[in-house]
């Protein structure tokens, strides 16, 4: 999925093996012409949406055009290792009972970014802070680079379209584990993820993301029957908004206020996904 991502997309496309089938779903970007040029250069199929359908919805949209055995959803501000896809395919062959996989996602400094916990899991399921040093079964996966069997993805209906942004990876991992098979972390399949560069960096984008983060927190925890979901979300939002760091920073104040507004909006319409985002400077 691409949203104003042409500045970073070229590096990702260059890192993908020529034998791979690539589909780019653009979510109403302002830099569509640049993205179209990159798609032509790298022989990728481009789908252009008129507006931003949300991360998960765009990924599911692209998956319907794929005829391959596996789907690999990768954030545009990422690059693959030379053997990443081959390592993931080998892991899938080694673990036929598994439905989905994460490669070893590292930041620009080489540090592994490992998703060890989720708001949808019990505290006892939280993993150690250090990433596994070998292939391991895990309770939740990151959507920054999600490798999944297409049959499994189709079986659970893809990503939940009601989740515009955030926690969509937690949600689909749990559904895949419950309905199809285990989730695995593959240590020898590297993906470098810059983080925070796939959709631009501005106060407006930060507020938009925070609003959807608050909204998605309520929606997903309620969906998965997490105890006291809304009360916990409100408490988290108020703690962030009233913290000294927020009071001293205008940018953090607007971001955390937007998070609280997202929490409240999800409760007001019971997380139905229909209330418009107030940050109209970015198309929701």
Instruction: Indicate if 68 and 188 belong to the same structural domain.
Output: yes
Give the span between the Cα atoms of 237 and 228, in whole angstroms. Answer: 14
Q: Is 81 buried (19+), middle (13-18) or exposed (0-12) by CB count in 10 A? A: middle
Where among 193, 214, 230 does a domain terminate? 193
Q: In which band, very low, low, confident or very high, does the pLDDT at 276 lie, cut at 50, 70 and 90? A: low
Does some domain include residue 279?
A: no
- pLDDT at position 85 is 98
Average of per-residue pLDDT values in the chain: 91
> For 237-250, what is each residue's pLDDT tens digit?
999 999 999 988 88
| Digit-coded pLDDT (tens) for 135-149 | 999 999 999 999 999
Q: Tokens 């920073």, residue?
A: 249
Domain assignment of residue 81, yes or no: yes
Judged against a pLDDT cut of 50, whether residue 5 lies above it is answered with: yes
- Domain contains 276: no
Q: What is the largest CA-CA distance in the chain?
A: 52
What's the number of domains the chain is made of?
A: 2
Q: Whole domain around residue 42: which residue ranges?
A: 6-193
- Give domain status of residue 105, yes or no: yes
Domain boundary among 168, 193, 218: 193
E runs forming strands in 241-281 = none
Residues 129 and 259 in one domain: no
Quickly count: other Cβ atoms within 10 Å of residue 46's Cβ.
17
Same domain, 165 and 257: no
* 180 & 213 share domain: no
Residue 155 counted as domain residue: yes
Q: What is the pLDDT of residues 220-238, one digit of tens each?
A: 999 999 999 999 999 999 9
């Amino acid at each position: 999925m691409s949203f104003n991502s042409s500045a970073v997309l070229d590096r990702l496309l260059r890192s993908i093996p020529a034998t791979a089938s690539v589909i780019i779903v653009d979510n109403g970007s302002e830099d569509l012409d640049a993205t179209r040029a990159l798609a032509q250069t790298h022989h990728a199929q481009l789908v252009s949406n008129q507006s931003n359908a949300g991360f998960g919805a765009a990924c599911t949209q692209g998956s319907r055009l794929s005829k391959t055995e596996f789907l690999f959803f990768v954030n545009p501000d990422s690059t693959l290792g030379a053997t990443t896809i081959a390592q993931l395919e080998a892991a899938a062959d080694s673990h036929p009972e598994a439905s989905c996989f994460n490669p070893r996602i590292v930041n620009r400094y080489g540090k592994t970014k490992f998703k060890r916990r989720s708001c949808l899991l019990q505290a006892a399921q939280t993993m150690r802070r250090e990433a596994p040093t070998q292939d391991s079964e895990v309770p939740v996966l990151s959507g920054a680079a999600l490798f999944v069997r297409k049959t499994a993805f189709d079986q659970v209906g893809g990503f939940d379209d009601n989740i515009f942004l955030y926690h969509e990876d937690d949600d689909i991992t749990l559904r895949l584990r419950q309905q199809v098979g285990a989730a695995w972390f593959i240590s020898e399949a590297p993906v470098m993820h810059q983080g925070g560069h796939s959709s631009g960096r501005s106060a407006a984008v930060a507020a938009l993301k925070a609003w959807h983060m608050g909204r998605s927190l309520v929606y997903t925890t309620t969906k998965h029957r997490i105890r006291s979901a809304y009360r916990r979300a409100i408490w988290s939002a108020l703690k962030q908004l009233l913290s000294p760091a927020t009071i001293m920073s205008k940018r953090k104040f607007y971001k955390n206020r937007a998070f609280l507004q997202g929490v409240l909006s999800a409760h007001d319409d019971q997380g139905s996904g229909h209330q418009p985002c107030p940050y109209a400077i970015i198309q929701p």
